[in-house]
Chains A and B, each alone.
Chain A
Amino acid sequence: MLSVVGLIFWAAVFGVLFRVLRYFKGVEEIGALLAAKLLSLALLSFVSVLLLSNVITALSSFFLARDLDLLVSSPVDWMRIYLAKLGETLLHSSWMVALMAVPIFAAYGVVYKAGILFPLVAAGSFLPFLVLPAVAGSAATLILVNVFPARRTRDLLSIIALGAGAGIIILFRIIRPEQLARPEGFRNLLDFITVLRTPTSPLLPNEWVTKSVMGYLGGKMDWLPLYLLWTTGGAAVVLGAFLHGRLYHTGFTRAQEGAERFVRGGLWGWTLGWLLKPLGAARREFVLKDLKLFFRDTTQWSQLILLAALLLVYLFNIKALPLFRGEQVPFYLRSVVSFLNLALAGFVLASIAARFIFPAVSLEGRQMWLLRSSPLELKALVWSKYWVGTLPLLVLALAITILTNVILRASPFMMAVGIGTIVLLTLAISALALTFGALYPQFETENAAQIPTSFGGLVFMMTTIALLALVIVIESVPVYRYLRAAFNDEPLVISPLMIAAFLLVIGVCVAATVVPLRIALRKIEQFEF
C-alpha cells in the first residue's frame, strides 16, 4: 500500500516537472537558465530541510539511542563510532529527500536526453551533497548538547523546528508567490535574466550540484563543482571527526542528565479537576492524566504551533480566493465553494486527528498493565480518549466552518448544512482515528509524533477520505436542488429526496462513529501484554 502511494507520488512529481522542464526547454535563450534556477532552488530547500532533520536525528543517534551504553563501554575506536553514527544519522534524515530527488533528476535526465551515464553524474553529485548537512547537523548537535542537557535540547529543537516550519509556511503564503509569476513584476527581460543568472550563493553546495548536473546536461561537463563537492565533503567529515573526538565524551556525559523538572500541577486539579467532578473519579483522573501528558510532552504540544500556522494559511487561502474582485461573483459559486470547503475542512480535521487522536491508544501501551489490572472499565478508557480528542477538534471544526462561511458570505441554508455536516463528520473522524489507532497500535514507539506516519495512519487517512467523499456525494443532491432553486429565483421546496439525503448523511456518520468505537473497544479488550 505504502509503495503504491509512493509510486503515485513519484509519478506525480516526475509528471509535473517533466511538463515544466519541457516548457522551459522550448523557451529561447533563458530556458536552460530557468531549469538551472529551478534545480538550484529545489536543492536549496533540500539543504534547509536536511540541516534541520540532521540536527534532530543526530541528537537521537549520537546521544539518546539505546545502543550507546553498549557502544561507548565496548572497546571500539571512537572514530568508528563517529563514522557509524554519522552514517546512521545521514540515512535516517536523508532517505526521504533522496527518494524525492529521484523523480526530479529523472525528469531532468529525460527532458534533456542525458543518456545512461546521467544517473552516475547525478548520484555522484548528490551523495556528497547529503554528507555536508549530515556533518554540519551532527556538529551543531554536538555543540548544543555540550551547552544544554540532551533532553532539554530535544525539547528546544522540536519547538524551534516546528516554529521555523510554521513561520516558513505563513511567510510563503503571505508573500503570495502566485503574484511573482506575473510578467509585469519585472521591468524588462534583462532584469529577469540577471536574476536568473545570479546564483543563490556560489559557496552553497546546491549551486555546485546544479552546475555539475546542468553542465553535463548542457554537454559541457564542468568538473570543478564535482571536485568541490567531494573534497568539501571529505574535509567536513575530517573536521566533524576532530570535533567529535574533542567534545563527544563531555557531551555524552551531559546527555545522561535529566531534564530536572519540578511540577506542582495544582492548577489542573483546581480548575479542570473541579469542572470534571461530575464524571466520577476514574473518568476525571483519566481525562486529567491525558491532558497533563499532552501538555508536558514537547513533541506532542509543539505540533500545535504547526497546526496554528496551517489554519492561518487555510483561512488566508479562502480569503485570497478571487471571489470578490471585479464584478459580483454569482451567489451560487460562493455556495459551491462553501460546500466543497466541507471536504477540505474534513481533510484538515482528519490530518489533525491523525496527529493527536490516532496515537492515543498506542501511548497507553507500556502502562496497559495498570489499566488492565485495575477495575477501570475499558469503556471508560475509550470514552475518555474519544472525548478528550473530539471536543477540541469539534471547536476547531466549528471555527473553521463558521469563519470560512462568514468570509464567503454563505447563505443561512449553506451555513446550517456546513455546521451540521462538520459536527457529524468530526464525531466520525475522531472515532475512526481512535479505532485505527487501536487496530494498528505501536506500543514500542517512544516518539508520539512518529505514530501517525505508520501504515495504520495511512489506512485511517484513506478511510476518512472515502467517508468525506461519500458524505459530499450524498449531500450534493439537496445542495444542488437548493442552488437550482436559488439560481432560478424560485422558493426552496424541501422535497422528500432532500430529507432522505440528509437522513442518509446522519446515518452514515453515526454508523461511522458507533461501529468503529465498538470495534476499538473489542480490540482493546483483546490486547495482551
Chain B
Amino acid sequence: MIQLEKLTKYYGSFCAVDDVTLHVPKGALYGFLGPNGAGKTTTLRMIAGILRPTSGRVLIGGDDVIASPLPAKARLGFIPDRPFVYEKLTGAEFLRFVAGLYGQDGQVVERRIDELLEIFELTAWKNELVESYSHGMRQKLIISSALIHRPEVIVVDEPMVGLDPRAARLLKDLFRKFVARGGTVLMSTHTIEIAEALCDRIAIIQGGKIVAAGTMRELKAQTASGDIGLEELFLRLTGGPAEKELAAVLEDGA
C-alpha cells in the first residue's frame, strides 16, 4: 500500500534519509523505529507529501505522491508529532475544514464530526476555540481530523505523545480495528513496548538507512539474536546505551 523506492532526502549537505526502500503491505500495522534524529519524521513527512524527496519516490496505493498527489493524498490520513492547529477555530470547525479539504461536506460530515468527537471525549469542547485545548486534546483533535475522510492509510508520527492512558489505549484499539478492516498504518514511535505489542512488522532506521525490517521473528533471524525482546534488539542494531557515560553523568563528581 505504501511503497518507498530509493527515497533520499538531503538538507544542504546533510543526508537525513539515505536510499530507503520499504514496502508497507495493505492491512499491516507497520512500526517505524529509530533513535532521535535517525530520519523517521523526515521519511513520514515525505510520505505525506509535506517534504519533497531529493531523489526516489513514494507511492500510495500505486499513485506517486509527487507526480499525482491528489489521488495519493486522498487515501492518506496524516498525524504529525506536533499538534499545530488553527487556534481561532473551534474543534468542530477545524474538523469541518479538514473534511472540506478532502472535498467532503454536508450532513455526512456533521454526523462524522459528532461521532469522532464523542469517541475522543471532546464533545463538550466541540464549540470551544482550539486555543483553550490542552496538548493532549489537540492531539486527539488531529487524530480525529486524520480519520474524518475515512482514509485507507494512516501515517502517524509518535502517536502516543501527550495522550492520557485512556486515550492511548483507545488509539491502540482504533489502529487494530482499522487494520482488521483492511486499512494500513505506518507508525513511528520511540516506545518499544507499543511497537512490540501493536505492530505486525517493524522497520528500524539508523542514520537515515533502514538497518532491519520485517516481523519480530525475521528481525531476530536477521541479527542472529536468540530469544531477546525488541528493546534489546533495537539497542543492538542502533548502538546500545553508553552505560559508562551514563554512570559518569549520574555520579556526584566527588
Partner-B contacts on A (CB < 8 A): 258-265, 280-282, 284-286, 288-289, 292-293, 296-297, 366-377, 526, 528-529
Q: How many A-B residue pairs have CB under 8 A?
A: 102
Q: Say how far A80's CB is from chain B's closest CB, in angstroms.
A: 27
Residues of B within 8 A of A265 (CB): 90, 93, 127
- Known A262-B127, A296-B88, A375-B74; contact A529-B50, beta-carbon cutoff 8 A: yes
B88 and chain A: residue at smallest CB distance? A296
Q: Say how far A382's CB is from chain B's closest CB, in angstroms.
A: 15
Q: Contact between A375 and B103 (Cβ–Cβ < 8 Å)?
A: yes
Q: Which of B101, B127, B128 contacts A374 (CB 8 A)?
A: B101
Residues of A within 8 A of B48 (CB): 369, 372-373
Chain B CB count within 10 A is highest, among A264, A369, A529, for: A369
Q: Is B145 an interface residue (CB 8 A)?
A: yes
- A402–B167 Cα distance when bound, in Å, is 59
Q: Contact between B86 and A375 (Cβ–Cβ < 8 Å)?
A: no
- A377–B99 Cα distance when bound, in Å, is 14
Q: Say how far A168's CB is from chain B's closest CB, in angstroms.
A: 29
- A137–B237 Cα distance when bound, in Å, is 58
Q: Say how far B194's CB is from chain A's closest CB, in angstroms.
A: 22
Partner-A contacts on B (CB < 8 A): 45, 48-52, 69-71, 73-74, 76, 78, 80, 84-86, 88-90, 93, 96-105, 127-129, 131-132, 145
Q: Which of A263, A281, A368 contacts B105 (CB 8 A)?
A: A281
Q: Identify the 9 closest CB pairs spanning chains A and B, nearest first.
A: A285-B100, A373-B48, A373-B78, A366-B84, A374-B101, A296-B88, A375-B73, A281-B105, A258-B132
Residues of B within 8 A of A526 (CB): 52
Residues of A within 8 A of B98 (CB): 370, 374
Q: Contact between B101 and A282 (Cβ–Cβ < 8 Å)?
A: yes
Q: Contact between B88 and A293 (Cβ–Cβ < 8 Å)?
A: yes
Residues of B within 8 A of A263 (CB): 90, 93, 127-129
Q: Contact between B129 and A261 (Cβ–Cβ < 8 Å)?
A: yes
Chain B CB count within 10 A is highest, among A288, A375, A376, A528, for: A375
5 A-B pairs besides A263-B129, A369-B45 with CB distance below 8 A are A259-B132, A281-B103, A282-B102, A288-B97, A369-B80
- A286–B52 Cα distance when bound, in Å, is 24
Q: Contact between B93 and A367 (Cβ–Cβ < 8 Å)?
A: no
- A368–B49 Cα distance when bound, in Å, is 11
- A289–B85 Cα distance when bound, in Å, is 12
Residues of A within 8 A of B96 (CB): 285
Q: Say how far B2's CB is from chain A's closest CB, in angstroms.
A: 14
> Chain B contact residues: over half helix, strand or loop, or mixed?
mixed
A366 and chain B: residue at smallest CB distance? B84
- Known A375-B69, A375-B74, A529-B50; contact A370-B101, beta-carbon cutoff 8 A: yes
A sample of 17 cross-chain residue pairs with beta-carbon separation below 8 angstroms, ordered by A number, consists of: A258-B132, A259-B132, A262-B128, A263-B127, A263-B128, A265-B127, A280-B103, A282-B102, A282-B103, A285-B99, A285-B100, A292-B93, A370-B85, A374-B98, A374-B102, A375-B69, A375-B101
> Chain A contact residues: over half helix, strand or loop, or mixed?
helix
Residues of A within 8 A of B102 (CB): 282, 374-375
Q: Contact between A376 and B89 (Cβ–Cβ < 8 Å)?
A: no
Q: Say how far A302's CB is from chain B's closest CB, in angstroms.
A: 14
- A529–B78 Cα distance when bound, in Å, is 14
Q: Contact between B49 and A282 (Cβ–Cβ < 8 Å)?
A: no
Q: Which of B50, B104, B127 contacts A373 (CB 8 A)?
A: B50
Q: Contact between A529 and B45 (Cβ–Cβ < 8 Å)?
A: yes
Q: Say how far B156's CB is from chain A's closest CB, in angstroms.
A: 11
Q: Contact between A377 and B89 (Cβ–Cβ < 8 Å)?
A: no
- A508–B238 Cα distance when bound, in Å, is 60
- Known A265-B127, A285-B105; contact A373-B97, beta-carbon cutoff 8 A: no
- A280–B99 Cα distance when bound, in Å, is 12
Q: Contact between A289 and B89 (Cβ–Cβ < 8 Å)?
A: yes
Q: Contact between B50 and A368 (Cβ–Cβ < 8 Å)?
A: yes
Residues of B within 8 A of A374 (CB): 73, 98, 101-102
- A288–B94 Cα distance when bound, in Å, is 11
Residues of A within 8 A of B128 (CB): 261-263
Q: Say how far A201's CB is from chain B's closest CB, in angstroms.
A: 43
Residues of B within 8 A of A285 (CB): 96-97, 99-101, 105
Residues of A within 8 A of B51 (CB): 528-529
- Known A258-B131, A292-B88; contact A373-B76, beta-carbon cutoff 8 A: yes
- A372–B155 Cα distance when bound, in Å, is 14
Chain B CB count within 10 A is highest, among A285, A288, A377, for: A285
- A528–B80 Cα distance when bound, in Å, is 14
- A288–B101 Cα distance when bound, in Å, is 12
Q: Which of A260, A261, A280, A369 contacts B78 (CB 8 A)?
A: A369
- A293–B94 Cα distance when bound, in Å, is 11
A365 and chain B: residue at smallest CB distance? B84
